[in-house]
Structure 1
């Protein structure tokens, strides 16, 4: 089973869902806001993706953090911020066959699901 992690109003999530549906790939959607995100889950995903890739510094949520939170970021601090503010997690994260992937493009999804 494939799981798509994100927030439903995100344009990239909408594109990823559309691609999965068009290619008849059965999947579940995990809504960060409704279903939550745990620090344990973030710590289990981070070794495959890297916390730097997971943290969306361009989004509104990150920009609205106080300067103290934005400075001296390391893995532990970043993952704690992501657990507290799931909208800062870059989207989508996709779990397929026990591996995690981040982001969406047609070519990337072709590689993930046609290999």
Structure 2
């Protein structure tokens, strides 16, 4: 079964859900704020998505971090930041079982 990682108030996440619903694809939703992000789950995602691709430096969460935490971010510090602040992950993330699709644009799920 597909897993869609979202946050409730994200417009792009809503569009991704609508796209899956239109195609009649079964999926489960994992809300990053409500359901959280464990270290094993993050490692599962990072096994398929490079850490710096996953880090959302355009998010409100990122902008609200102290400058000292944002400077010289590397793979290890990015992991720590994402575990402490799950909304730093780019979203939506769609785990197909074989791959993880990052973000959503119209047509991205056509091949599913």
Q: How many residues align?
A: 112
**TM-score, with structure 2 as normaliser:** 0.93
Root mean square deviation, CA, Å: 1.1
Residue 6 (structure 2) pairs with residue 3 (structure 1): no
Runs of 4 or more consecutive aligned structure 1 residues displaced over 6 Å after TM superposition: none
**TM-score, with structure 1 as normaliser:** 0.91
Q: Which runs of 5+ in 2 are unaligned?
A: none
In structure 1, the residue matched to 2:50 is 50
Alignment of 1:25-104 (within 5 A): 25-104=25-104
Whole-Å separation in 1 of the counterparts to 2:97 and 2:47: 16
Q: Which runs of 5+ in 1 are unaligned?
A: none
Whole-Å separation in 2 of the counterparts to 1:97 and 1:37: 18
